Amino acid sequence: MRIGVGVPPKGVRGSGVSSVVNALMSETWLTSRPDGHQSERLVTDWKWDESRTLLHLQLRHDVYFHDGTKLTPEIAAAALRNSVAHAADEAALSFLSITSVAVSGADGLDVRLSEPNSFVIPDLALVAVRKPGNDNIGTGPFRIVNRTPQQVTFTAFPQYYRGRPAINDVAIIPYPTQRKAWTALMRGEVDMLHDVSRDAIDFVQAESTVHTYSFPRPYYIPLVFNVRHPILQRAEVRRAINEALDKATLVRDGLNGRGRPADGPIWPEHWAQPAAVERFSFDPARAEQELDAAGLRARPNADGTVPARFSFTCLVFADDTRFERLAVLVQKQLSDVGIEMKLLPLKQPDLEQRVRTGVFDAFLFEFFGRSLSWTYEFWRHRDGGLQNTGYTAADGVLDRIRGAKSDEEVKAGVTELARLLHDDPPGAFLAWQETTRAVSNRFNVQSENGRDIFTNLWQWRAADAPRQASR
């Protein structure tokens, strides 16, 4: 199996060679289902004590690293401690609440926290387990044979606890652009295109030698406001902006229909998502009425340009046309109700620096949305946080979700958060995205509706090969 990967613009998460390599060679402690609940993986059972500050993890007893070393509780404890020490790099900031990891019995770990943190269990599904001291040795279905900038090669790991993969060898081949990657697929130089660009999807789907598989990508794109702005600080103005945006059109024209409108930062299928979410409807006439009522009537500009109610500048990630295309559409829709949104494309370092320091009116980018811990990190205001918007209205409810001691408390908090983000929106949540993978019909793919096919590549087989048993 040869997999072509178009190297994404720097700063775009969830894709690229490193994520593909990690998915093949490593496993997480737990895995997340489409509804956001966790299921067993290297950990088979987990239980909190009454205070919710001591978590017991039960480990599988048949897991081996690629060098033949068994995953013992002692090695597991060392691996988890290493993840705690690098929590920010591991995308598991809840691990900062962990104060100790100790071996418990013949096959268990006791994880002690400084305070209750409901995000620890979901974050165990985000952290890859690697052998302490060697990040190239994992417990996944394929082990690395050779790794160079031009190619990463793997071979099937016969001791994989879920069953030996049916595919013997895998090669990851990076390409400088997605276009070059899908050209390689069309030429038969690779067997799979890891990520089909929105511009190429129709062309690839028309190719008779491949099958395409689409699934929801757990990243949403918001237009985020700095509420210190003299006009954007007013909640009624932010609500009017939301009503001026036709999100269905943004998805259709901005994402080529590969996504769905967003109503907030919580994964739409998440188990804690309220059954009824209050949504903004596209109503530009109402938006204009509310802006008029707020005293923001269009005034002639001194330079003779089109009159505007007010103006603000939006920072846009300059290295990905997806964001620029969406920003232009938002700009036009806001112009229709008399709001001038100027666009300022920036490279990733400049964009991140200005977002972290609060030097912006608004910005447009993407955030990870399947984990409540990342909802907390993006929208809970704190000095030195991921973004400095001045928005503090959600701090209390986000803290309650983080410290929740039951699923019921989490659900109550998420319901309150959804209501608050509608009444006092920190931005306009535009769209959830969709990802498409393409695979040569020389392979039989084990697909599940709504899930990434790449998670079970170890079960794929050549089209003429017999099926193998798995556990």
Closest CA to 373 of 123, 22, 138: 123
Q: Is residue 112 a contact partner of residue 54, using CB atoms and an 8 Å limit?
A: yes
Q: CB-based contacts of 228: which residues, under 8 Å, 6+ apart?
A: 358, 389, 390
Q: How high is the pLDDT of residue 173? A: 94
pLDDT of 17 higher than 90: no
Tally of CB atoms within 10 A around 395 = 14
CA separation, residue 62 to residues 132, 213, 423, 455 (Å): 18, 32, 51, 20
Q: What is the mean pLDDT of residues 374-379?
A: 93
pLDDT in the model for residue 304 = 65
Alpha-carbon distance of 201 to 436, in angstroms, equals: 8
pLDDT in tens, 216-238: 999 999 999 999 999 999 999 99
b vs e for 269-305, b when ≥16 Cβ sit within 10 Å of the residue's Cβ?
Answer: ebebbbeeeeebebebebbbebbeeeebebeeeeeee
Query: Mean pLDDT for the chain?
Result: 92
Domain boundaries, the chain: 1-26+140-209+441-471, 28-129, 217-433
Question: Residue 388's closest CA among 399, 401, 377, 374?
Answer: 377
Residue 179: pLDDT over 90: no
Q: How far apart are CA 410 and CA 412, in angstroms?
A: 5
Which of 105-114, 387-396, 441-450 has the lowest average pLDDT?
A: 441-450
Map 134-147 to HEC letters: CCCCECCCEEEEEE
Residues 6+ apart with CB under 8 A from 290: 236, 239, 240, 243
Q: Which amino acid is at 425?
A: P
- CATH fold of 1-26+140-209+441-471 reads D-Maltodextrin-Binding Protein; domain 2 (3.40.190)
Does the pLDDT at position 54 exceed 60? yes
Q: What is the mean pLDDT of residues 59-70?
A: 97
Tell me, what's the pLDDT at 44?
97
Tokens coding 396: 């209390």
Q: Which residues pair with 343 in a beta bridge?
A: 314
CATH code for the part of the protein at 217-433: 3.10.105.10
pLDDT of residue 14: 47
Q: Pull the structure tokens for residue 47.
A: 């239980």
For 414, list phi and psi in degrees, rounded to 5. Answer: -65, -40
Pick the more confident residue, 385 or 295: 295
pLDDT mean over 414-434? 97
DSSP code string of 378-396 = HHS--TT-S------TTHH
User: What are the distances in angstroms from CA 143 to CA 130, 220, 416, 465, 471?
Assistant: 12, 33, 45, 22, 19
Just give the CATH number of 28-129.
Answer: 3.90.76.10
Beta-sheet pairing, 128-129 with 152-156 = unpaired
Q: Would you state the structure tokens that stand for residue 141, as one six-digit string?
A: 């279905």
- Over the stretch 314-323, which tens digit does the pLDDT of each residue have? 999 988 888 9
116, pLDDT greater than 50: yes
Helices (H) and strands (E) in the chain, counts: 13, 22
pLDDT at 151 over 50: yes
pLDDT digits (tens, 9 = 90+) for 185-213: 989 999 999 998 877 888 888 888 999 99
By the 8 A CB rule, do 1 and 169 touch? yes
The greatest distance separating any two alpha carbons of the chain, rounded to the nearest whole angstrom, comes to: 78
Least confident among 4-13, 139-148, 235-244, 374-383: 4-13
